[in-house]
Amino acid sequence: MITIKNLRKDFGSRTVLNDIELQIPAGQATGIVGPNGSGKTTTIKTLLGLVKPTAGNILINGENIEGQWDYRRKIGYMPQIARYPENMTIRELFDFIKDMRGSPTNRDKELLEYFELDNDIDKRMRTLSGGMRQKVGAILSMMFDPEILIFDEPTAGLDPKSSVQFKKLVHEEKDKGKTVLLTSHIMSEIEELTDHLIFIVEGNIRYDGPMHKLMERQKEQRLEGAVAKMMEETAA
Ligand SMILES: Nc1ncnc2c1ncn2[C@@H]1O[C@H](COP(=O)(O)OP(=O)(O)OP(=O)(O)O)[C@@H](O)[C@H]1O
């Protein structure tokens, strides 16, 4: 369980997260949706300790993460835009990360084959296409079998086949009891992959609860319609 209490983030005079309160349930998949610039990535980065909150607390499995680093071993993160050491090959990058972490694993090899990247393992990062880089990010997030998986717009840039493969993996991780947190602008993807929904607008939480309840409340069959209605209500 991830608990966010009164979390505030200001960038200069701009409040990007406005005292948000959230409970992200363990062993389920949660989707964070909201307009561009509403604070989704900032929320994720505070969980990872990459952005320091202006105020508030984050607890993972009941423990406050402030000043802690070890908890991050429990989290696999696939960023929206990943930056890599561009001169390293995929093989060198994976070996380097395994060495630094001191965690031997063969899961990277399985995932490279799964995403059909095994023949590209000796290519330098700077020569990879956007979709190939996304796949590298997906593999890095899952290769150490973490209990929490965070994906920021994971399928943006993936071709349809790879996107289906990625979603199949997420289902498998969910079935293993992992906690998954996912942002996407593709509502069908959120609908397909997640059970719990958070809707955020300008740093304020407008909905936090089971996805089916939101659809019932909005009298919509599809999440896209339910979210569109919520956006209209917010704008009104
Ligand atoms: N390091 C930073 N310095 C200043 N402002 C920032 C910084 N990072 C994010 N912001 C601002 O915070 C706001 C929220 O950004 P964030 O990336 O969290 O949005 P998002 O909901 O993930 O958007 P998108 O759907 O476009 O990815 C934006 O106005 C953004 O410009």
Can you give the pLDDT at residue 104? 86
CA distance 9 to 43: 9
Number of compact structural domains in the chain: 1
CA of 43, closest atom in ligand 1: 18
- Decide if 109 is inside a domain: no
- Decide if 69 is inside a domain: yes
Task: Using pLDDT thresholds of 50, 70 and 90, give the confidence band for residue 70.
Answer: confident
Query: Helices 130-142 and 90-101, interaxial angle, to 10°?
Result: 20
Tell the residue number behind the tokens 């993460």, with chain if given: 65
Residue-wise pLDDT tens digits, 137-151:
999 999 999 999 999
Distance, CA 111 to ligand 1 centroid (Å)?
31
Task: Please state the ipTM of this predicted complex.
Answer: 0.97
CATH, residue 175: 3.40.50.300
- Decide if 91 is inside a domain: no
CA distance 137 to 133: 6
Main-chain dihedrals φ then ψ at residue 232, nearest 5 degrees: -65, -45
- Decide if 124 is inside a domain: no
Q: 16: Cβ below 6 Å to ligand 1?
A: yes
The predicted model scores a pTM of: 0.94
Residue-wise pLDDT tens digits, 147-195:
999 999 999 989 999 999 999 999 999 999 999 999 999 999 999 999 9
Domain encompassing residue 188: 2-80+147-235
Which residue type, as a one-letter code, is found at position 40? K
- Decide if 29 is inside a domain: yes
Can you give the pLDDT at residue 110? 96
Instruction: Give the C-alpha distances (Å, rounded to integers) separating 130 from 51, 83, 107, 203, 231.
Output: 25, 12, 22, 29, 31
17 bridge partner residues: 9
CA distance 209 to 134: 29
- Decide if 114 is inside a domain: no
